[in-house]
Amino acid sequence: MLHYPDINPMGFQLGPITVHWYGLLEIISFIIATLWLIGRGRKPQWQWSKGEVVDLEFFVAIGAILGGRVGYVLWYNLPYYVQHPIHMFYLWDGGMSFHGGLLGVVFACWLYARGRPHRSTLSTLDFIAPAVPIGLGLGRIANFINDQLFGRVSHLPWAMVFPAGGPQPRQPSQLYEFLLEGVLLFVILAVYSRKPRPEGAVGGLFVFAYGVFRFLVEFVRQPDIQLGFVLGPLTMGQILSIPMIVLGPIIIWWAYRGGFSAPPPRSSPTTREVAAE
């Protein structure tokens, strides 16, 4: 059994302001992702300017926060928030859903591309998808530091006793998610997108891979205390991941068949064509 490091979730203090590791790591992940996307945008296959990347990241950050919060309220703790509606806005108390955040990011990319005719929603999602695991990975490290989202009881050699999880050793599922949803997913998407791919393929691979990784990790992650198991042995995280596992390959297949590509503009009809019409 390994010893849980028991790191103080409060990173440091600036006068009356306390900076928590969770917020600090999220800011760091945002900066790293933005810098990486700026470098990525210089490549001929993408051609994104620095200003465009910064604007997109602003849209995505807002979409992820709002979508993540709404998803958590609806899927994970709706009865509580119906009784305490003002608490929906207490973001500092925690409570975010990745799946809700993903929908928020999709909407944000649609909103961003809507005002820019040279950008499509799918190509925008393809561009930003490999950067998402940066935030996911550091977010899971923050969960580990905060003594939350730990795994189920286990006697494996690397199990740990989490203070909030009682006296029994548990699997460090946050670290599993860091390795799968953060490191491995980033490598897969970064390598796959190094060459030009059909529009929608990179985003489809993200949807599928994340769904698989999250579904598997949920087997060792402690179910949310307010929900428990939702459908037989399945948790809410697994139920929300199943559509991703199904939809991802369909998106990739459709992308390679050219289903997302815009048809070439039709040339002006000839005199014979006009007569035939």
> pLDDT tens across 219-246, in order?
999 999 889 999 999 999 999 999 999 9
* Residue carrying structure tokens 């459908």: 231
Question: Could you tell me which residues are beta bridge partners of residue 19?
Answer: 12
Give the pLDDT band (50/70/90) at residue 207. very high
Mean pLDDT of 107-135: 94
Digit-coded pLDDT (tens) for 13-56: 777 777 788 888 989 999 999 999 999 999 988 999 999 999 99
Helix axes 121-128, 50-75, angle to 10 degrees: 90
Q: Is the predicted pLDDT of residue 130 greater than 60, yes or no?
A: yes
Question: Please, how many CA atoms are within 13 Å of residue 30, restricted to the half-sphere of its CB?
Answer: 17
Digit-coded pLDDT (tens) for 171-187: 999 999 999 999 999 99
Residue 230's pLDDT is 94
What share of the chain has pLDDT > 70, as a percent?
94
| CB neighbour class for 140 (10 Å; exposed up to 12, middle 13-18, buried from 19) | buried
Give the pLDDT band (50/70/90) at residue 198. very high
Average pLDDT, the chain: 90
Q: Which amino acid is at 42?
A: R
DSSP letter for 221, please. B
